[in-house]
Structure 1
Amino acid sequence: MRNRYLLMRHGHSQANARGLIVSSPERGLAGFGLSPEGGAQLEALLADWRWPVPTGIVHSDFRRTTETAARVAARFGLALAAEPGLRERHFGELEGQGDHHYPEVWARDAESAEHRAFGVEPLTAVAERMGGVIAGLEARHQGETLLLVSHGDPLQILLTALVGRPLTRHREGAPLAPASITPYPG
């Protein structure tokens, strides 16, 4: 890797607070921003920043990730760069339904990286678009510390791909908490 990456999951969102799956651009771009809890998480994180200061911020263009990235950008005086390739994994027919459906999808993920049950975006497609973002950044930057603000499932899939593990194992590690940062390489 030519750069260091800080992979950040957005802060607790209104969708998290309501227990809803919000994965479509039609709902996620304009709605479902940060919850008050998410704002408090980011205040605490920024007050106790323990990572290298980012030299750039690239984020999913969903509202919850944009608001998260904007708070970090304001703290460090950085510009934002929206990147649709960092969007939430699309959950198809489960859009707008309760987040209690996630385990059904993850159980199928463990069986096949190609499954499309419920019209869900397959693991292979998520890994390809997220990896494409990294490849593009690697081609354009060198020696930078880039903060990528995205969503839990896509980030876990990306991390699984980056370390060369089968994508079907993306849920084996601890879930990424809201407003958490995972350095890569570690």
Structure 2
Amino acid sequence: MMTLVVAPPPLNVARLRFVTTKDSLLSRLTRFGTTGAVSHVEAAMHDGTIIASHIGTGVSRFPIDYDTRSTLQIIVDLPMADMTGKWGNFLKSRIGWPYDTPAIAGFAVHFNEHEQGALICSALQVDALRHCGWFPVPLADRYHQISPVVLLLMLQADPRRRFDMGKISRAAKRLQDRHSRLARCNLPTAAGHPG
């Protein structure tokens, strides 16, 4: 299996890395519960490290090339200018927080559980983006209920983000092409008229 590579982001850019792996039960359960292609999100930092929340380690800093198991990778760049420092400092301030195991179990069986003071991967990233001002208004859902796939959809819909096709694995490219073809089908809207 080829290792998927991620580079540190350019200056004034927050880089999020969405991934999944085929050989992890937790990854499969997350994809099943969220019906999405990704099961984890983490931040690529300017110093060449990754800040992520994992079961077993909680929020930790890892070498940028630590992940040798992921089979799909989508990189989303968020141009932040003056928000980048707040974003990075917030993520660093959460290192050492535990993993929110009840919240991740909730994705598989659709219940609302959460351990106060603990974070799943997507809640960590949503919290950092809200803290730095990328999401300027309160969100409609609790952070621990926003899955990696929902966060990816939120960012894909945001015109400020950069979605570099050169950094997407072949599987993710096929998935995006499939969604593009479906969008061009001109299916009727709720009112019964073509969209």
TM more than 0.5:
no
More helix by share: 1
| Higher RCO (CA-CA < 8 Å; seq separation 6+) | 1
More strand by share: 2
TM-score (norm 2): 0.32
